[in-house]
Structure 1
């Protein structure tokens, strides 16, 4: 749409009609406007799957690996294809705007939402985010880059003010967003809950400059859900849309603020104009036929490939790949082998179409030629949700639960079968007062069972009429991820007899501002720790090989809270040590979204990082374990051996302020600055072959075209017996710089493939932006003249090749041209 066309549409609306468009009509939908032929646009989480407007178990979605796994792929082509899959899912569900990618950084290993973010490095994050955006937007769906900006931890996330200097903001935290706007032309940006230097993002001048003015962002600026807290200051700022609705500080007061002159009409017109431009781009002003979603088999194959592409082989002493023909027995250890964690916790969760478990996939891969013994080890994590084969709907006898919604007098307003006791958005017919979830449970094991009910307000839980929970539990947080997704649970215990069925009934009264999510859990007696360990050891000792699955839990890694430790929950470290001690062919598979401590890593014959792998967890991991696919991942984040070693760990604000005192020195930059050695460097990852870095050469500055300052040619040789893929990385250094810089910083990377013995030359194009810094005096980007060191290798800590290049700045030192290329 041209500006003239937008102006003509605006002329058809009065102030009240315009303001009405600037608050969501529902939780996920914008308002329509019949006078313009405008339909409401639908927005949906998220980074790993497109949920749509409802969060209900019958509304399933294709589930991608976590964003940290995508960051680990270092593969923009595959990332773009995954973006296309998200777009196809969106089209199939009537979604116009996918709330992804998350472009915040892994500043501290304690960040609770690492699984939703790509990496610790601004360049890797920028390139990965651009690829996903291009994949989404190629199909006419809008991507939404979030959470602008410096929204890198969860503690006090609704109110925290992040304090950081302008150079750090420009050179680190704004970089991925600038790339999203300039290189990918992202159609929407979401501001975070946090403040930057004392001003909440919904009102922050950073929305205007650099985002809209300097970078030329012409899309829609939407708030995080509930992030708008004022009428006039936010109305005068550059924010365009307050979500969700229909209630918001803009719903009524903004009309009066415009009428009495406190908010300029021009500001409202700009906001509405941007919304109309987005509507035009996604077909909400002229309905275009939606392409069909990707076929399920095609989606599954792509997602299976993505699992292997993101898996990072951290260490391998000749154990992997396992040879199926040589196995007569395989011990599969750990609870997460049968129940893997496939996605992170919080608002971006979806109900996957199916989940391939590692245990099932390993059985299928071996095809009955080898005996598999599963030993879950000691109990892990929070109680499971009510449901599964031991639970029956008390009304129709099908496996699962019965969901009922009752009125004030107890009359049934709704009843329906469900698979589990986790109901995030139970239906709310008119007059709804109480949510009830029930099931007839036949326990497989006798002993003391633990039951829980989660929510706020008056709640009760009975087992065969005996009350285990009964009370009023007030809401103590405003965090929407807690209120609407994962409310706290209250627990009670009772003794059950194996094989004797009982009726479990949980009720939660609905109260204003407490959400409607209702969770019911049922945990069998915890197995004796010593016995569980002994069973695992025996299974491993008598097998030809063992695969141990360990990882984080919903309680230890989720949106809404940061971590306080990197230790694996429960007895998992003891489990690994015990298995490794008796089985020399042990593979440890780590199922987490971010770094964890692995005190046994040097003793373990092989360690494979699978992240949160999405719905094809089992098939993808099995492909890697048996060599059908090479582990393609490289670490997007530096992993410490112990939390105490990490140079940047602060996530807890002091008096409401979280200061980024480390400046631009995060991730591998911080490790280098502090002269510390991590367990695994940024960029590290092994394959099933070996490589020798033989030679590096640098083209003369000025030889590059467009955004390229110069090209680094890296010659490599595949010295192993298998074909493979390698990711040569180039880092720059500027000793003696007149300005503070990192010791080294990532300047570029590429991927190459080669057969056994083959020599290949990788061309890494170093962009101009890798050479310049932000000048506070000049209020712009400068390129410093002089010699720059060029280092090449497989990780930030292993750079066997070095060269130098002489760079000349312009006469005034200013870098002339765009920081990111326009697309």
Structure 2
């Protein structure tokens, strides 16, 4: 028996030793997985950049090598600008301020807190996306910010538990692309440069940066999936004129995102014809000459150990041609000229002191004219997914009882000289409570109060924010409604005379780590404890990502559920307007809510450093384009609430579907136009139109979100390719037309490296969600 045990032990040790030998210890193992593309293309100044290009050429022509290099990296700021490019005083160049972020200017005073990206996605509103962006851009400009570090279309939302999914618009690339285009246009019309980020495949926070002997995770992807899914919204941003692209932390096919010549030189600067400059994410640079040759133009927050004097030395010793430095400077200065920043923009970082508690010049960036965009943007990003027993809208209830930790403003919501408290305010951690963490030490929900926004560099620091409780109490006072509240107990007692009860919870997310889970027992049990005592229980979630509800949603007394997302400073007024019927809900889900977390498959969790890849973690995107509703369709899985779903206080009917070719449209399989910003010009030529009539058949005026899905031959069963959001009064009808472009109807050909218009029969679906498709037809090409 002893001998048998020894044999078993030796066999186990041998297996362990064999496994240890297989652990990859050098990144040379991965060389060649990301194709090299050199040299870095020089900007040519076409497509509306001609005047800026000529001005930059004259300016840069007067610079010394050292001055050109100084434009390519940040210096320590004397403000709360996230990054600063130094001035060149002899040429009257004032320098540049780059600042966070895509949901509002952060870490300063007298600014607004706008709805977060996920909230904009849930609004399905092009108009609100543009108006939000314009108002936000105006605030950044008043504070002397040259580059707004947003919007976000990476992460795209592949990893369901992703810690930064809330910063982006949607897991669907077409919806994200439309909304990022509107956002880029709105911001840049104010003369502020957008930094569309994080380019590209930055799909998890876990292992996003190297740590000790472990490299950052590698997002491994094929060319077809890259083009049809992840590059798609970046392409829309470039077409809209985004002046800056931010390269990402992680590796792409085992080459770091800010040193990846395939994605920067090949895809961005060649295929998409990008004319602006590429900036690193903060401390995302891991090479010197190599990152310059790969297409990165600016290092933030500074040159670190790679650029600065080392670039000067590299040019002088022949390691790097000066023409590359010149192009880096050209791209930066041409972008500055492109948005007229040589004319009238305030001093960089004005009114943004390093500590807002110190004496400083007051610059109030807010504009009363932005109030409708803030409020309506908050309203339309709420999604009503359940409403039974005529629970909503409320009609002057006699007694309303309020519960849950996410109803009130956190007790601390202010700048502070205390380092820990200051950090909480600066990065949006106010709701975080260290006593309520998951076993791995992260927060699934924020027990300290409501979440106006998410946590991290995309947080908001609004001058004024109104919580749901504050707004509801004011409304109750106007109506004479008795109101009880218990925001402390997880097993509260409920007054039996309550006409309705509202339970507030949230789903917390923070940059730097992925969410521990997409549901939690504490909140589910709180909801059920109230529902057991109240026959009309309304659940409101401020959710920074997907939040499952199957732990409670079928309880007979849970009669309404609202995903309130991250509404920004107008959270309370927006929710109150919806609850009382002053506005009809018009938000739609920009993602799919599953019944079980396992329904999402392999993309539920972030990749880890394990096995042979213990030092070089790998995230293999083997699912291709089959994410979210495409995955649920392919696998035949029934979701709890499908992508595009949302209720309103009225009903709509769809009729008269019409599918038509555009007369004279070129349906040759391959595009042939020249490359401009965004790609070949004829990718945006209209090929067909789809029209439908919609009628409001209910008794309440409301928006409807009409959605067009296409089944392309040889592609997923259906993909979003259009949406419109008409407002209709009772009995009113409107006609909606969707315009389908060559790009909308094409698939990516790896062999030809072009978009290919398919020959055959396309399936056409129009409806109110990805699964409520009221009309269908075909298009033959």
Structure 2-normalised TM-score?
A: 0.79
- Specify whether residues 606 and 34 from structure 1 end up closer, same or farther in structure 2 by C-alpha distance, changes over 3 A only: same
The more displaced of 250-259 and 315-324 is: 315-324
Match of 1:94 among 144, 149, 156: 144
Match of 2:759 among 760, 776, 785: 785
What corresponds to 1:42 in structure 2? Answer: 97
Deviation at 1:282, TM superposition (A): 4.1
Match of 1:747 among 721, 726, 750: 721
**C-alpha distance in 1 between matches for 2:651 and 2:493:** 33
Deviation at 1:363, TM superposition (A): 1.2
Query: Does residue 80 of the first structure (1) align with residue 137 of the second (2)?
Result: no
**C-alpha distance in 2 between matches for 1:281 and 1:315:** 48
**C-alpha distance in 1 between matches for 2:124 and 2:688:** 21
Deviation at 1:787, TM superposition (A): 0.6
Query: Does residue 639 of the first structure (1) align with residue 639 of the second (2)?
Result: no
* 1:585-624 pair list within 5 angstroms: 585-598=536-549, 599-603=551-555, 604-624=558-578
What corresponds to 1:310 in structure 2? Answer: 381
Deviation at 1:704, TM superposition (A): 7.1
Instruction: Provide, for residues 449-506 of structure 1, a one-character-per-residue CA deviation record: whole Å limited to 9, x for no partner.
Output: xxxxxxxxxxxxxxxxxxxxxxxxxxxxxxxxxxxxxxxxxxxxxxxxxxxxxxxxxx
Query: Does residue 22 of the first structure (1) align with residue 93 of the second (2)?
Result: no
Query: Does residue 134 of the first structure (1) align with residue 244 of the second (2)?
Result: no
**C-alpha distance in 1 between matches for 2:565 and 2:382:** 7
What corresponds to 1:71 in structure 2? Answer: 121
Deviation at 1:350, TM superposition (A): 3.0
Deviation at 1:703, TM superposition (A): 6.6
Deviation at 1:367, TM superposition (A): 2.5
Secondary structure in 2 matching 1:29: strand
Give the unaligned 5+ runs of structure 2. 1-50, 77-81, 210-215, 351-362, 409-448, 667-683
State whether residues 102 and 167 of structure 2, in contact with CA within 8 Å, keep that contact through their aligned partners in structure 1. Answer: yes
Match of 1:11 among 58, 61, 67: 61
State whether residues 400 and 498 of structure 2, in contact with CA within 8 Å, keep that contact through their aligned partners in structure 1. Answer: yes
**C-alpha distance in 1 between matches for 2:528 and 2:604:** 27
- Which structure shows the bigger proportion of residues in helix conformation? 2
Match of 1:548 among 503, 511, 518: 503
Deviation at 1:784, TM superposition (A): 1.1
**C-alpha distance in 2 between matches for 1:588 and 1:288:** 46
What corresponds to 1:572 in structure 2? Answer: 523
Secondary structure in 1 matching 2:163: coil
State whether residues 106 and 667 of structure 1, in contact with CA within 8 Å, keep that contact through their aligned partners in structure 2. Answer: no
What corresponds to 2:299 in structure 1? Answer: 242
What corresponds to 2:360 in structure 1? Answer: none
Match of 1:230 among 287, 296, 309: 287
State whether residues 161 and 196 of structure 1, in contact with CA within 8 Å, keep that contact through their aligned partners in structure 2. Answer: yes
What corresponds to 1:174 in structure 2? Answer: 231
* 1:190-339 pair list within 5 angstroms: 190-205=246-261, 206-245=263-302, 247-288=304-345, 295-325=366-396, 327-338=397-408, 339=449
Match of 2:486 among 368, 372, 375: 375
Deviation at 1:364, TM superposition (A): 1.0
What corresponds to 2:34 in structure 1? Answer: none
State whether residues 111 and 364 of structure 2, in contact with CA within 8 Å, keep that contact through their aligned partners in structure 1. Answer: no
- Specify whether residues 691 and 238 from structure 1 end up closer, same or farther in structure 2 by C-alpha distance, changes over 3 A only: same
Deviation at 1:353, TM superposition (A): 0.9
State whether residues 277 and 332 of structure 2, in contact with CA within 8 Å, keep that contact through their aligned partners in structure 1. Answer: yes
* 1:771-782 pair list within 5 angstroms: 771-782=745-756
**C-alpha distance in 2 between matches for 1:580 and 1:637:** 27
Deviation at 1:220, TM superposition (A): 1.5
**C-alpha distance in 2 between matches for 1:2 and 1:625:** 50
- Specify whether residues 80 and 308 from structure 1 end up closer, same or farther in structure 2 by C-alpha distance, changes over 3 A only: same
Deviation at 1:16, TM superposition (A): 1.6
Match of 1:347 among 454, 457, 460: 457
Deviation at 1:546, TM superposition (A): 0.8
Deviation at 1:35, TM superposition (A): 3.2
Deviation at 1:356, TM superposition (A): 0.5
Secondary structure in 2 matching 1:356: coil
The more displaced of 334-343 and 276-285 is: 276-285
**C-alpha distance in 1 between matches for 2:587 and 2:405:** 24
- Specify whether residues 761 and 634 from structure 1 end up closer, same or farther in structure 2 by C-alpha distance, changes over 3 A only: same
**C-alpha distance in 1 between matches for 2:341 and 2:373:** 30
Give the unaligned 5+ runs of structure 1. 379-531, 808-823
- Specify whether residues 352 and 289 from structure 1 end up closer, same or farther in structure 2 by C-alpha distance, changes over 3 A only: closer
Question: How large is the RMSD of aligned CA atoms in angstroms?
Answer: 2.0
Instruction: Provide, for residues 9-68 of structure 1, a one-character-per-residue CA deviation record: whole Å limited to 9, x for no partner.
Output: 2232222221121111235211211232211111111111112xxx36xx2420011110
Deviation at 1:794, TM superposition (A): 0.8
What corresponds to 1:365 in structure 2? Answer: 475
Match of 1:558 among 510, 522, 528: 510
**C-alpha distance in 2 between matches for 1:28 and 1:180:** 22
Secondary structure in 1 matching 2:743: helix
Secondary structure in 1 matching 2:773: coil
**C-alpha distance in 2 between matches for 1:229 and 1:573:** 44
What corresponds to 2:39 in structure 1? Answer: none
State whether residues 356 and 619 of structure 1, in contact with CA within 8 Å, keep that contact through their aligned partners in structure 2. Answer: yes
**C-alpha distance in 1 between matches for 2:305 and 2:570:** 40
Instruction: Provide, for residues 406-456 of structure 1, a one-character-per-residue CA deviation record: whole Å limited to 9, x for no partner.
Output: xxxxxxxxxxxxxxxxxxxxxxxxxxxxxxxxxxxxxxxxxxxxxxxxxxx
Match of 1:725 among 703, 706, 711: 703
**C-alpha distance in 2 between matches for 1:703 and 1:601:** 52
**C-alpha distance in 1 between matches for 2:68 and 2:403:** 59
Instruction: Provide, for residues 322-359 of structure 1, a one-character-per-residue CA deviation record: whole Å limited to 9, x for no partner.
Output: 3343x111001111111311111112223211120111
State whether residues 407 and 467 of structure 2, in contact with CA within 8 Å, keep that contact through their aligned partners in structure 1. Answer: yes
Deviation at 1:773, TM superposition (A): 0.9
Query: Does residue 31 of the first structure (1) align with residue 96 of the second (2)?
Result: no
Deviation at 1:692, TM superposition (A): 2.1
Deviation at 1:144, TM superposition (A): 1.0
**C-alpha distance in 1 between matches for 2:105 and 2:772:** 38
Deviation at 1:789, TM superposition (A): 0.7
- Specify whether residues 777 and 602 from structure 1 end up closer, same or farther in structure 2 by C-alpha distance, changes over 3 A only: same
State whether residues 236 and 264 of structure 1, in contact with CA within 8 Å, keep that contact through their aligned partners in structure 2. Answer: no
**C-alpha distance in 1 between matches for 2:157 and 2:195:** 19
What corresponds to 1:431 in structure 2? Answer: none
State whether residues 725 and 751 of structure 1, in contact with CA within 8 Å, keep that contact through their aligned partners in structure 2. Answer: yes
State whether residues 696 and 712 of structure 1, in contact with CA within 8 Å, keep that contact through their aligned partners in structure 2. Answer: yes
Deviation at 1:584, TM superposition (A): 2.1
State whether residues 128 and 377 of structure 2, in contact with CA within 8 Å, keep that contact through their aligned partners in structure 1. Answer: yes
State whether residues 766 and 775 of structure 2, in contact with CA within 8 Å, keep that contact through their aligned partners in structure 1. Answer: yes
**C-alpha distance in 2 between matches for 1:45 and 1:6:** 26
Secondary structure in 2 matching 1:49: coil
Secondary structure in 2 matching 1:77: helix
Instruction: Provide, for residues 222-253 of structure 1, a one-character-per-residue CA deviation record: whole Å limited to 9, x for no partner.
Output: 11011111111012221110000264521221
What corresponds to 2:159 in structure 1? Answer: 108
- Which structure shows the bigger proportion of residues in strand conformation? 1
